[in-house]
Structure 1
Amino acid sequence: MRTLQLGTSRIGYELKVYFRQGDTVFFTFLFPIMMLSIFAVAFSTSGNIGTAPDGSGGITVASFYVPGMVAAGMLLSGVQNLAVDIAAEKGDGTLKRLGGTPLPVFSYFMGKIGMVLLSSVFQVALLLLVARVAFNVELPSEPSKWLTFAWVFLFGVITSCVLGIALSALPRTGKSATAVIIPLVLVLQFISGVYLNFSQLPGWLQNFASIFPLKWMAQGMRSVFLPASFEAAEPSGAWDLGLVALVLGVWLVVGLALCKMTFKWIRKDT
């Protein structure tokens, strides 16, 4: 019970620290919203996407980019935010000091993951609000769509958190964390159907991107926010939600194993 109480208090602490860091808020919390606005405005005159041969139907550019931006927000909040944050705490000695306190490791991670979950909920709510109000994006009305959204979102955020914790061991110093993590996350976004139409990428690049979880998170969100007619554009011609769950589950297990092997309160070279 005390471990859970400490973890709950850490969630509040982590949220306060997170929203006081302007650069972190911009590059993780507001970044997907900013990118959606840029794409929606920049390509507003290019016409609808997925129109019929007679020019009817299709969806706006803003509607097309919503699922990708939701998936990107999940990745940024979990992988990028936690990998950089924990690596910095290792570098400046914060984790070493925490390791000398009665704070359990579980409570520490409960605070980090709880912060990401809550901030991600706020982020996606703001993103969908901006999409609806500013760009008139039609949101799903079927309960089944929102049920799919809920499990893909929750599964994706938790998997991203675990992978972010595992990746925090990659930077050699806290100062190098941003330079190491952000390029990896950025490249992953470009090849996973976030900024570019996934079906238009070369086949070998699609296969490579399919190894990583972001591609499946984006595909799961496309099944929620895009019309059924867009399902045929997927590599297999289907949303493959069962495969989405399987791949995220595999990466969750891999991430947990890596966390077990790599996480230390202090760096081995300190």
Structure 2
Amino acid sequence: MSSTLGTRPQAALPSLGRVYRTRSSVELKEFFRQRESVVFTLAFPVILLVVFGAVLDYDIGFGITFTQYFMAGIIAAGILGASLQNMAISIATERSDGTLKHLVGTPMPKSAYFVGKVVQVLAVTVCTVVILLAVGRLAYGVPLPTGADWFTFAWVAALGSSACTLLGIAVSSLPKNGRSASAMVTPIALVLQFISGVFFQFSQVPTWMQTVAALFPLKWMAQGLRSVFLPDVLAAQEPAGTWELGRVALVLALWCAAGLVLCVLTFRWQDRGTD
């Protein structure tokens, strides 16, 4: 009798593309089902825009309102929240509650987990940016980018989001467990926002704070976006007297590379002490 009798043929494993799509769908559903995450990530930047736009709607010179200046900073902060904060807190939480340990024990390729996270960040970032642009235009008359400015907007946002996403994955290994993730990550993000010209004109930030801010991607992302929303005459208020778009691209690209290295070196699938 043939040895093959009585055996079942093994089911073919799904293609990598299908696994990636399925995991991405799971990540999106999980995010949008969590009201707290949706409100904090999507609504918080909008609330800040509405509050600052109503209270600080004054002329900063050359017919430009602070709200128009603030638009670049709040979009940069929104991208930071959708990428670095979102990634760091959610991954730390999933590591702590055993989700990552369960996933790594399944046949699913580890890369699918990260692809799902990246797709989630992309979707949330697009939603955040679209909402902020709509509110800024409809409520405060902030002009939308035109012509080549859209290209600058796209690459600054893409590089900034990529750098912050990779840093968020790396930073997720800093908290001891998921419960402490928000308490550790949120203050870091707020400090970066204050020193990077999000809530104030960057020229009003003390020089030593400008130097510290220049070490991190948020400052360069906000500066690149200011070149999109503000006239070139205001570039004179930047530390170098120009928008430095070449340096913006270089710094953000270097942070992408550094973030990838940090991810490889620091990422853990379990909390410390449980490996």
Same fold by TM-score, threshold 0.5 exceeded? yes
**What is the match of residue 94 of structure 1?**
99
In the alignment, which of 260, 263, 267 is matched to residue 263 of structure 1? 267
Q: Counterpart amino acid of 2:30?
A: V
Listed as ranges, the gaps of 5+ residues in structure 2 are 1-13
Q: Deviations over 1:180-203 (max 9, x none)?
A: 100001100000011121111111
Per-residue deviation, 1:267: 2.6
Per-residue deviation, 1:27: 1.8
In the alignment, which of 189, 195, 201 is matched to residue 197 of structure 1? 201
d(CA) in 1 for partners of 2:18, 2:165: 21
TM-score (norm 2): 0.92
Contact 1:4/1:107 (<8 A) preserved: no
SS at match of 2:28: helix
SS at match of 1:11: helix
Residue 228 of structure 1 pairs with residue 223 of structure 2: no
Contact 2:177/2:271 (<8 A) preserved: no
**What is the match of residue 11 of structure 2?**
none
Q: Deviations over 1:109-148 (max 9, x none)?
A: 000011101111111011101111111111122x210000
d(CA) in 1 for partners of 2:163, 2:143: 28
Residue 62 of structure 1 pairs with residue 67 of structure 2: yes
**What is the match of residue 106 of structure 1?**
111
d(CA) in 2 for partners of 1:116, 1:74: 9
Per-residue deviation, 1:72: 0.4
Q: Deviations over 1:148-189 (max 9, x none)?
A: 001111111111110000000000011000001000011000
In the alignment, which of 44, 49, 55 is matched to residue 36 of structure 1? 49
**What is the match of residue 53 of structure 1?**
none
Listed as ranges, the gaps of 5+ residues in structure 1 are 51-56
- Sequence identity percentage: 49
**What is the match of residue 72 of structure 1?**
77
d(CA) in 1 for partners of 2:16, 2:157: 26
Per-residue deviation, 1:220: 0.4
Structure 1 range deviating more: 150-159 or 2-11: 2-11
**What is the match of residue 30 of structure 2?**
17
SS at match of 1:49: strand
Aligned length: 261
Per-residue deviation, 1:13: 1.3
Q: Counterpart amino acid of 1:151?
A: W
d(CA) in 2 for partners of 1:171, 1:182: 12
d(CA) in 1 for partners of 2:204, 2:225: 18
Based on CA coordinates, which of the two structures has the bigger radius of gyration?
2
Computed over aligned residues only, the root mean square deviation of the Cα atoms, in angstroms, reads 1.2
**What is the match of residue 147 of structure 1?**
151
Q: Deviations over 1:29-61 (max 9, x none)?
A: 1211110110011123xx3111xxxxxx42122
Residue 48 of structure 1 pairs with residue 59 of structure 2: yes
Structure 1 range deviating more: 2-11 or 180-189: 2-11
**What is the match of residue 4 of structure 2?**
none
TM-score (norm 1): 0.94
Matching of residues 150-189 of structure 1 within 5 Å: 150-189=154-193
Contact 1:3/1:106 (<8 A) preserved: no
Q: Counterpart amino acid of 1:89?
A: E
**What is the match of residue 122 of structure 1?**
127
Contact 2:79/2:128 (<8 A) preserved: no
